[in-house]
Amino acid sequence: MLESKAENVPFWEPPVPEDEALRQQVEHARDEHLLLDPRPPAETNALMLAGMQRTGPVFWLLVVGLGGMVLALLVTWFIQMNQGMGITGLNRSVMWGPYIANLVYFIGIGHAGTFISAALRLMRYDFRRPIARAAETVTLFGLAMAGLFPLIHLGRLWKLYYMIPIPTQRELWPNFRSALLWDATAITTYLIGSTLFLYAALIPDLAMVRDHVTGIRRKIYGALALGWRGTEGEWHRLETLSNILGFIIIPVMFSVHTIVSWDFAMAIQPGWHSTIFGPFFIIGALFSGVAAVILIMVIIRKGMGLGYFIREEHFNAMGIFLMILSMAWVYFYFAEWITNWYGNLPMEVALQNMLTGELAPLFYLMLFANIIVPLGTLWSRRVRTSMPAMLVIALFVQIGMYLERVLIVSGFLSRNELPFNWVNYTPRWPELLITVATFAFLALLYLVWTRVVPIIPVWEVYEGQALQSRRRVGRALLPTRSDPH
Amino acid sequence: MAEHKWTMIVDLDKCTGCQACVVACHAENNVPTASETEVVRGRGLHWIRIERYWEGEFPDVKAKFLPVFCQQCGSAPCEPVCPTYASYHSQEENLNVQVYNRCVGTRYCGNNCPYKVRYFNYYSPDFDEPLNQQLNPDVTVRSAGVMEKCTFCIQRIRRTAETANAEGRDIEDGEVVPACVQACPADVFTFGDAYDPDSRVAQRVPQERQFKLLEHMGTEPAVYYLKGGETHVGE
């Protein structure tokens, strides 16, 4: 029988059935599914390494362009510190603007990485295998960008140490009653946890690169790979570590965005003071984060020639995921807003400003981008497996979720209890430039990262492929999957 | 030292909206004057401001004036949110005080203040000649990036307390006079220690015309407003 033959051959040499119809089934499955399409590791490794070595003129042009944006960010930041926050458009009532919206947004896109990777890993969804690292990297750099914003936002950055719990002769600690301190603690925990999680899974791939390079690179990758040899004990410990970190990181992920939402919900500002903000922000974060991962999947697939690893099935799975999250977002959004709107308390007048007032264009664009676009298109498998379409949808979700953050932060602040203090907010160039440049910064980090480490966890792909086998049932040859856990 | 509960009573029925208190406050507390463009951007900076509300349709309009300054809340929303204890509650004066040196400028307190009486220094203050000559030496000039707000002229409270302490007596009622109280031609303000049962503030409240601003928010302001019936400017 087929199985008995398969036992003696390596996993990348799948059995070839004698039956013509069955052979076609096997071929078809190879086209459709990455895990049923094993190739010799040497070939796959070469594919990954070739992607990493793609540094043509476009790459360098992008590096220079994005680097210039980062430089502009630093210069603007310096000017802002030198001149004062006055160069922004903030005012007496709207004291938080896009800087804080950016903080929430970038932590938000950082969410999906760990979720896709850790939660899907623990739930054994195999579609995560080739995209896990791309997603975790979004977390890493998303958090790094988010971490910039409390600093850019501070009126006196040079006094930052008052917010850090360091023992001083004053014996005065930071105020742990402040949500900002909870926030800093949660984000730091999440950053450490997700970095460890990313690094643990990276070790075998770093060892793979080490074995393919020479000279100084071999030394660097060798040091980073921590002397990985690939023994059974090492694989076993890696598996255990990844599972433990996965279980730790999931509750941390929930806590982080809940605490970020508490920066708002704990304040008594109308529109912010809401019990639903915790779960609502988590869903929003996952929504924008999954869209961000889709965006990056499209880009790295095209830019690095990774069509073998990232296939239509992955876009299909992520598209379904995005659609479910869109529905969940709609649910939370209206659970929150209809309550406020129907209650019609005078304090909640900011809602009127969004429905019919100055913020209406942004409000309706947000609804269009977050509801109509994903829910109107993602039901179709043809859309979900079309890369240009997914790129556009993911971009719309990014725009929508970004607007949602801005409307929550500045939109609500512009309307408060005493009508005398109603001030509309218009951003000025520093906020706009810093915001745009942060996206460029993220892109630059990602671009360099993909050329430095394998962005596809190739060992996870091998693992998935090695766990596959086929069984014959009647006239059909069904793929089966063994579960070693 | 004895504890005090510094309290202000604002009699709205007397207020003519002349803004003398605003000017006096600027002079006493080294409050920088925002330029016209800055005011248009919504960054007018006054520790006390006269909120002017219009009622009715033209020509039958009525103006109402509401002097608003820090309400020195007993349960202040701005205090717990500050990560550095720059905004804290003083035990002795029962005031909500701001430590400029400690402020890093997160502006969380400003967001959480329902009265929006906390002002942020968007730029370093600039006092043109000869205005720099008349800065009050008792009050810090705040740099860019810090929050500031009405202190009930705490420098005057402190000086009076020190004098009284040196003379071995308690502070007398009416001995502390904040700048706005001093400047008001209509005698709108009454200032004193509510813990002193003989003080004028303790005797004037509670009374019928009394209300507190946004009292439903539970911030326990130390400022009482008095407003009776339908009294308007020009009547």
The per-residue pLDDT for range B170-200, each reduced to its tens digit, is 899 999 999 999 999 999 999 999 999 999 9
Digit-coded pLDDT (tens) for A195-234: 999 999 999 999 999 999 889 999 999 999 998 998 999 9
User: For residue B101, what are its two tokens?
Assistant: 């040196």
Residue with tokens 């207020």: B15
Which of these, A482, A479, A326, lies nearest to A404 by C-alpha position?
A326
Does pLDDT of B232 surpass 60?
Answer: no
Digit-coded pLDDT (tens) for A241-286: 999 999 999 899 899 989 999 999 999 988 898 899 999 999 999 9
The rounded mean pLDDT for chain A is: 89
Does pLDDT of B19 surpass 50?
Answer: yes
Digit-coded pLDDT (tens) for A331-346: 999 998 888 888 888 7
* Interface touch A163/B111, C-beta < 8 Å: no
Among A410-419, B121-130, B223-232, the minimum mean pLDDT is found in: B223-232
Does pLDDT of B228 surpass 70?
Answer: yes
Mean pLDDT of A77-88: 93
Distance CA B94, CA B72 (A): 8
Digit-coded pLDDT (tens) for B44-74: 899 999 999 888 888 888 888 999 999 999 9
Does pLDDT of A6 surpass 60?
Answer: no
- A197 phi-psi bin (left φ>0, alpha ψ -120 to 50, beta other): alpha
Q: Which residues of chain A have a Cβ shorter than 8 Å from any chain B Cβ?
A: 83-86, 89-96, 150, 153-157, 159-160, 162-163, 172, 174-175, 177-181, 184, 263, 266-269, 413, 416-421, 423
Give the per-residue SS3 of A367-389: HHHHHHHHHHHCCCHHHHCCHHH
Q: What is the pLDDT of residue B1?
A: 55
Give the per-residue SS3 of A275-298: CCHHHHHHHHHHHHHHHHHHHHHH
**DSSP codes, A101-147:** HHHHHHHHHHHHHHIIIIIHHHTT-GGGGGGHHHHHHHHHHHHHHHH
DSSP state of A18: S
Distance CA B62, CA B83 (A): 43
CB-CB contact of A193 with A248 (8 Å): yes
Q: What is the pLDDT of residue A343?
A: 84
The pLDDT confidence band at residue A138, using thresholds 50, 70 and 90, is very high
Distance (Å) from the C-alpha of residue A444 to the closest C-alpha of chain B? Answer: 29
The pLDDT confidence band at residue A484, using thresholds 50, 70 and 90, is low
- CATH number of A2-163+174-481: 2.60.40.4070, 1.20.1630.10, 3.40.50.2000, 3.10.129.10? 1.20.1630.10
Tell me the chain A residues in contact with residue B52 when contact means C-beta distances shorter than 8 Å. Answer: 420
Which of these, A304, A315, A267, lies nearest to A452 by C-alpha position?
A304
CB-CB contact of B146 with B100 (8 Å): yes
Whether pTM exceeds 0.90? yes
Which of A178, A185, A266, A426 to mutate to probe the B interface, most B CBs <10 Å? A178
Tell me the chain B residues in contact with residue A350 when contact means C-beta distances shorter than 8 Å. Answer: none
Q: What is the pLDDT of residue A264?
A: 93
Q: Domain residues of chain A, as ranges?
A: 2-163+174-481
Distance (Å) from the C-alpha of residue A114 to the closest C-alpha of chain B? Answer: 28
Q: What is the pLDDT of residue B9?
A: 95
Q: What is the pLDDT of residue B61?
A: 87
**DSSP codes, B131-180:** GGGG--TTSPPP-TT-EE---SSHHHHHHHHHHHHHTTSPPPTT----HH
* Interface touch B122/A418, C-beta < 8 Å: no
Among A95-99, A169-173, A225-229, B123-127, the minimum mean pLDDT is found in: A169-173
The CB-side HSE value for A186 (13 A sphere, CA atoms) comes to 24
The pLDDT confidence band at residue B234, using thresholds 50, 70 and 90, is very low
The pLDDT confidence band at residue A470, using thresholds 50, 70 and 90, is confident
Tell me the chain A residues in contact with residue B213 when contact means C-beta distances shorter than 8 Å. Answer: 418
User: For residue A300, what are its two tokens?
Assistant: 């790295």
Among A48-57, B5-14, B25-34, B132-141, the minimum mean pLDDT is found in: A48-57
Q: Alpha-carbon torsion A438, A441, A447, A449, what sign? A: negative
Counting residues of chain B whose pLDDT is more than 70, the rounded percentage is: 97
R_g over Cα of chain B: 18
* Interface touch B144/A421, C-beta < 8 Å: no
Among A29-38, A138-147, A305-314, A358-367, the minimum mean pLDDT is found in: A29-38
The closest CB to that of A418, out of B38, B41, B51, belongs to B51
Domains of chain B: 6-226 (3.30.70.20)
Q: How many CB atoms lie within 10 A of CB B160?
A: 16
Mean pLDDT of A474-478: 79
Among A115-119, A215-219, A449-453, the minimum mean pLDDT is found in: A115-119
With residue B10 as reference, give the H or E element that holds it: strand B6-11
b (16+ CB within 10 A) / e for B180-218: bbebbeeebbbbbbbebeebbbbebbeeebeebbbeebe
* Interface touch A92/B80, C-beta < 8 Å: no
**Nearest residue on chain B to A83, judged by CA atoms?**
B123
The pLDDT confidence band at residue A485, using thresholds 50, 70 and 90, is low
Q: What is the pLDDT of residue A1?
A: 41
Digit-coded pLDDT (tens) for A286-326: 999 999 999 999 999 998 888 889 999 999 999 999 999 99
Distance CA B14, CA A262 (A): 42
The closest CB to that of B120, out of A89, A155, A420, belongs to A155
* Interface touch A96/B112, C-beta < 8 Å: no
* Interface touch B105/A84, C-beta < 8 Å: no
Q: What is the pLDDT of residue B145?
A: 92
Residue B130 preceded by cis peptide, ω within 30: yes
Q: What is the pLDDT of residue A23?
A: 83
CB-CB contact of B83 with A163 (8 Å): yes
Here the ipTM equals 0.90
Tell me the chain A residues in contact with residue B111 when contact means C-beta distances shorter than 8 Å. Answer: 95-96, 267, 269, 413
Tell me the chain A residues in contact with residue B84 when contact means C-beta distances shorter than 8 Å. Answer: 162-163, 174-175
Tell me the chain A residues in contact with residue B44 when contact means C-beta distances shorter than 8 Å. Answer: 92
Residue with tokens 């540094």: A55
**Nearest residue on chain B to A151, judged by CA atoms?**
B106
Distance (Å) from the C-alpha of residue A277 to the closest C-alpha of chain B? Answer: 17
Mean pLDDT of B106-115: 94
Which of these, A444, A445, A402, A431, lies nearest to A73 by C-alpha position?
A431
Distance CA A104, CA B69 (A): 32
Digit-coded pLDDT (tens) for A379-406: 999 999 999 999 999 999 999 999 999 9
**Nearest residue on chain B to A88, judged by CA atoms?**
B122
Distance (Å) from the C-alpha of residue A110 to the closest C-alpha of chain B? Answer: 23
Q: What is the pLDDT of residue B235?
A: 45
